[in-house]
Amino acid sequence: MPATINCRVQPEDFALDHEYQALQRQDCGAVVLFCGLVREQFQPQDGPQDMPQSGDTLQALELEHYPGMTEQSIRAIAGQAVKRFDLRAITVIHRIGLLPLGAQIVLVGVAAPHRSDAFAACDMMMDYLKNQVPLWKKVHFSTSTAWADAKASDKQALNRWQTAEQNTAEN
């Protein structure tokens, strides 16, 4: 059964209730929504990371992207999720531009007949989003800015899906 895929890259905010309603289907018993938010951070040069420091705290994140490729790669990820899991609808919204503390950054929403597919697809798409979509975060602290570093843990999280895919192909 074909799934409805809705991918957007935009500066504007999104409304969870609206996106939730748009995902609902009569044949879907599960909707999983993941929302990523701009969280409090402290300038690491001041001392141990994520410890309250001398006031150089995160004010905003600035999201840069590669127009065209960003949308295309998000759509490709949604396409992979549809191939791998039993899904009926996917919504992915990624915001760009300057996003203040507490702002919504990303939404991944999945509608599926059963919850296991919805949870797994949402998890997998976030791992691919973190590793393969051309988006970069610049952290605006009170008195400085710094580009966010890619995390090894995000890469490892992606590997588990790729390893699972290889195992499936071999069996």
Partner 1 sequence: MPDITAAAIDTTPQIKVLFFAALREAIGHSELQLTLPAPLQISGVLALLSAQSSKVHQALAGREVLAALNQQLVGCDTWVHSGDELALFPPVTGG
- Is 8 among the residues that bind partner 1 (CB under 8 A)? no
- Sequence-ordered list of residues with C-beta below 8 angstroms from that of 66, at least 6 positions apart, any chain: 134
Query: Can you tell me the distance from the alpha carbon of 65 to that of 69, in angstroms, rounded to the nearest whole number?
Result: 8
Beta bridge partners of 93: 8, 107
Site size for partner 1 (CB under 8 A):
28
CB of 29 to partner 1, least distance (A): 27
Q: Which of 23, 81, 105, 124 binds partner 1 (CB under 8 A)?
A: 105
With respect to partner 1, which residue has the nearer C-beta, 88 or 130? 130
- Is 130 among the residues that bind partner 1 (CB under 8 A)? yes
Options 24-32, 46-54, 69-77, 115-123: segment touching partner 1 (CB under 8 A): 69-77
Closest CA to 82 of 60, 111, 47: 111
What residue has token string 């791992």?
Answer: 127
Options 21-29, 47-55, 144-152, 159-167: segment touching partner 1 (CB under 8 A): 144-152
Q: Which of 60, 106, 112, 122 binds partner 1 (CB under 8 A)?
A: 106
- Is 66 among the residues that bind partner 1 (CB under 8 A)? yes
CA 113 to chain CA centroid, Å, is 22
Q: Which of 68, 116, 142, 166 binds partner 1 (CB under 8 A)?
A: 68
Binding site for partner 1 (CB under 8 A): 36, 63-66, 68-69, 72-73, 94, 105-106, 126, 129-138, 147-150, 154
